[in-house]
Amino acid sequence: MNKNNNNYSDFNLYSLIRDNILNVDPYISARIEHKKEKKSIFLDANENSFGSPLSFFNSYNRYPDPLQQELKEKISELKNISTSKIFLGNGSDEIIDLIYRIFSRPEIDNTIIFPPTYGMYEISGKIHGANVIKINLTEENYQLNFDEIKKVINNNSKIIFICSPNNPTGNDIKRNNIEKIIKKFTGIVVLDEAYIDFSEKKSFSIEIDKFPNLIVLQTLSKSWGLAGLRIGIAIASADIIHWMNKIKHPYNISMVSQKIAIQALENRDLFFYHLKNILSEREYMKTCLSQISTIKKVYPSSANFLLVKINFSSKNLYQYLVEKKVIVRERSKIILCNNCLRITIGTHEENEYLIEKIKEYSKKIKI
């Protein structure tokens, strides 16, 4: 599958970056040039020096730190990765968009994705005019299909997206297969680890130095419970991070998001407490759901949700649950997910209610 017998001494990031991106002179924000001199009088960014109508919160009259240094230091400490190898985006979705912008020439380059998987890889690719090639995961256990992948990779293959644990299937992609792709592919591999904290598997982020073509995506939206703040994390070589910083919008993470994320990251005890509860609820849900006769299969999960195959039309069950005011994700239209629902792990009470309603429905349809 290699274009030219890749070995890392040959890896040339420059050759993968689009010419127009190489030629951009980035916007230099006022706050980058003088951010250290806190006592100065700032008349450089056309902010409102009198403050906002929020009176006692008036620090929001200033633009936020464009490079989010303080927040990055917290994340660096947490993940044991240097801040120079961390990029923060307005959600992972911003980072996916930036990756396409940097590497994928519209109408020329292709991106390879492995359905069923996260929808944004394809949507973002189409927005950027990438040719998105889909190689389905294997039907038995949702793993990578190497024979098919080898067939489609060509000289214009720039990006491969792997999601592990995968959404919506919930399983981990086998580690040695991920490593094989990273090592053999001469383009950029994006490994989306949005759900890694729920998995027993190790993150690739700690080994980022071994893989110059790897970008690991993580997020504060799932295990950290901060979906509303919109903070996605990319971990990659300092070179790749440099290009992301160069083309991002200058103030991509608001001051409110930065401040609150810093506070949350300081409370690791509560994070671990919630994580432990989610994991034990996942096992509980798995056991309960497996015992319901109308449920054909509960797939193994390393994430905070379960993919469940129903013995009959999942749409009808979905509708019934909506009527009972429980919203799950109907995934029937997705390839290899026929009659499947994706159910996020809720609190114990929420899970009990859901199980009760599914049991109720199962009784009904038998009559």
Residues that bind ligand PLP (CB under 6 A): 91-93, 118, 163, 167, 192, 194, 219, 221-222, 227, 232
In whole angstroms, the minimum distance from the beta carbon of 163 to ligand PLP comes to 5
Please give the residue whose beta carbon sits closest to ligand PLP in the complex.
91
- Shortest CB 326 distance to ligand PLP, Å: 20
The least CB distance from residue 351 to ligand PLP, in Å, is 20
Written as six digits, the tokens of 286 are 């798995």
Taking CA atoms, 314 is separated from 8, 17, 166, 343, in Å, by 47, 44, 21, 12
CB of 264 to ligand PLP, least distance (A): 14
Where does 76-201 show beta strands of DSSP type E? 86-89, 110-113, 131-134, 157-163, 188-192
Specify the residue, 31 or 222, whose C-beta has the smaller distance to ligand PLP. Answer: 222
| Residue (182 or 292) nearer to ligand PLP, CB | 182
CB contact set of 149 (below 8 Å; sequence gap of 6+): 1, 112, 135, 181
CA 152 to chain centre: 25
Cβ–Cβ under 8 Å, residues 104 and 127: no
The β-bridge partners of 330 are: 341
Decide whether 18 or 230 has the Cβ nearer to ligand PLP: 230
Look at strands 188-192 and 157-163 and give their pairing. parallel
**Which CB sits closer to ligand PLP, 143 or 362?**
143
CB closer to ligand PLP out of 181 and 231: 231
Please give the C-alpha separations between residue 4 and each of 112, 154, 155, in angstroms, as whole numbers: 18, 11, 9
Measured between alpha carbons, how far is 187 from 160 in angstroms, rounded to an integer? 8
For residue 28, count other CB atoms closer than 10 A to its CB: 10
Least distance CB 275 / ligand PLP (angstroms):
16
Closer to ligand PLP by CB, 91 or 116: give it: 91
Q: Nearest approach, Cβ of 189 to ligand PLP (angstroms)?
A: 15
Cross-strand bridge partners of residue 214: 189
Please, what is the minimum distance in Å from the beta carbon of residue 358 to ligand PLP? 23
Calpha distance 48→216 (Å, rounded): 38
User: What CA–CA distance (Å, rounded) separates 273 from 148?
Assistant: 42
Q: Of 197 and 358, which CB lies nearer to ligand PLP in the complex structure?
A: 197
